[in-house]
Structure 1
């Protein structure tokens, strides 16, 4: 499971859509992207937590965590695109530490973080199995991995509806929000096709983590997950 060789194409698109990334994401998620980040993080961050934002993008998940904890957490942004990390100034008064890299080769010691955040990024892992192992490795015992992403409903009819939206409706909405660059969000459907159904993802996480809380919205087309080591 994972993008495999498709990852390079996705990364190129992500690089191109940086100017409209947040705006289009808000439109295509019906304005619920911020709500889902808040729902996933609220009550799960403690003052003093050391946090890795894996696949951080601009740092939206980290900004949510900082707000929840009144700034009393230590953040490390981590993303494969340097251009994303360089565009974090609009979110943070004081820019967090940051480094570049992928899920499959996390350059940190074992059991270094209390919390790992992944907002709309795990779906872009090259190898889902390796990504899960790496995040598990860098989490402290009792730590948690908070994931917000597209969900792939287990029910066939509902899954068809979500697929229909992503393949045919989303490009229209993305174009309305982001113009010609918005059309490039059509690549998102390819990542969705390679993404496991919700139950399979939960089972995959449970191969490494002690327990998993799995919350769904939009008929299972959006997921908020907490995996506990």
Structure 2
């Protein structure tokens, strides 16, 4: 399996990520022109984890995104449905409780986590509505969701340049640095097809989340959405 299709069959997506696990973090740094690290820092600020809190980091991959939460003294559960990603994460951080799980059927009880967060993974889930409802279910009343995902640049001329980069420049760059460049063609297509900022906010509200808001990073290439379980 080299790449998934845009109907996002779970076995195809999991297999695709299994195949890029070893070099995934390095490739992301290169393809994002170093912005990926900045985005992770902004997620950590938005989550604002504190000692003793329970944090679910969904689509955690190799658990690189989970480390800032753990550093605060929070109990973080990195969860992903790619076993290849989880195996790679376990090699690097064997002390973390990496957990296999499907975003649409999470293996956790109701009202468990103070914060649930997912970075660059929601658009790879076949049923976005089901995933947002599941995140709501496992969050404690008063808890929050933080979603970091690719979005739509706010300045129209830049949006055109960005789309051209995704579809023309990204695949050859991926060929140079990735073990599975075809997977990054899928990722480019999935970014282009993903809802814009207001549309994702509406999906969060539909799933039950209150106080939904977002802010743009890197001119809207990425957006941070937040919501509260009231």
Pick the TM interval, shorter chain: 0.7 to 0.9
- Cα displacement (A) at 1:183: 4.5
Report SS of the residue matched to 2:199.
Answer: helix
- Distance in 1 between residues matched to 2:134 and 2:155, nearest whole Å: 30
Tell me, yes or no, if the aligned pair for 1:24 and 1:182 is still in contact at 8 Å: no
TM-score, with structure 1 as normaliser: 0.87
Unaligned runs of 5+ in 2: 1-5
Larger mean Cα displacement after TM superposition, 100-109 or 35-44: 35-44
Equivalent in the alignment of 2:177: 177
Q: How many residues align?
A: 222
Match of 2:28 among 25, 29, 53: 25
- Distance in 1 between residues matched to 2:203 and 2:223, nearest whole Å: 15
Larger mean Cα displacement after TM superposition, 127-136 or 213-222: 213-222
- Distance in 2 between residues matched to 1:27 and 1:223, nearest whole Å: 20
Larger mean Cα displacement after TM superposition, 14-23 or 39-48: 39-48
- Distance in 1 between residues matched to 2:198 and 2:30, nearest whole Å: 27
Larger mean Cα displacement after TM superposition, 30-39 or 184-193: 184-193
Pairing 1:112–2:112 present = yes
After TM superposition, the structure 1 = structure 2 runs for residues 29-44 of structure 1, keeping only pairs within 5 Å, are 29-42=32-45, 44=48
TM-score, with structure 2 as normaliser: 0.87
Tell me, yes or no, if the aligned pair for 1:154 and 1:198 is still in contact at 8 Å: no
Report SS of the residue matched to 1:88.
Answer: helix
Equivalent in the alignment of 1:55: 59
- Distance in 2 between residues matched to 1:90 and 1:8, nearest whole Å: 23
Equivalent in the alignment of 1:224: 224
- CA offset digits 1:127-149 (Å, max 9, x no partner): 01111111011000111112222
- Cα displacement (A) at 1:157: 4.8
- Distance in 2 between residues matched to 1:5 and 1:186, nearest whole Å: 14
> How has the CA–CA distance of structure 1 residues 90 and 64 changed in structure 2, closer, same or farther, with 3 Å as cutoff?
farther
- Distance in 1 between residues matched to 2:89 and 2:22, nearest whole Å: 12
After TM superposition, the structure 1 = structure 2 runs for residues 110-189 of structure 1, keeping only pairs within 5 Å, are 110-153=110-153, 157-178=157-178, 181-189=180-188
Report SS of the residue matched to 1:36.
Answer: helix
Pairing 1:14–2:20 present = no
Instruction: Supply the RMSD in Å over aligned alpha carbons.
Output: 2.1
- CA offset digits 1:9-35 (Å, max 9, x no partner): 333221111122111100111111121
Equivalent in the alignment of 2:3: none
- CA offset digits 1:147-191 (Å, max 9, x no partner): 22211346665443332221111112222323x533531110232
Tell me, yes or no, if the aligned pair for 2:90 and 2:96 is still in contact at 8 Å: no
> How has the CA–CA distance of structure 1 residues 187 and 151 changed in structure 2, closer, same or farther, with 3 Å as cutoff?
same
Report SS of the residue matched to 1:110.
Answer: coil
- Distance in 2 between residues matched to 1:59 and 1:146, nearest whole Å: 16
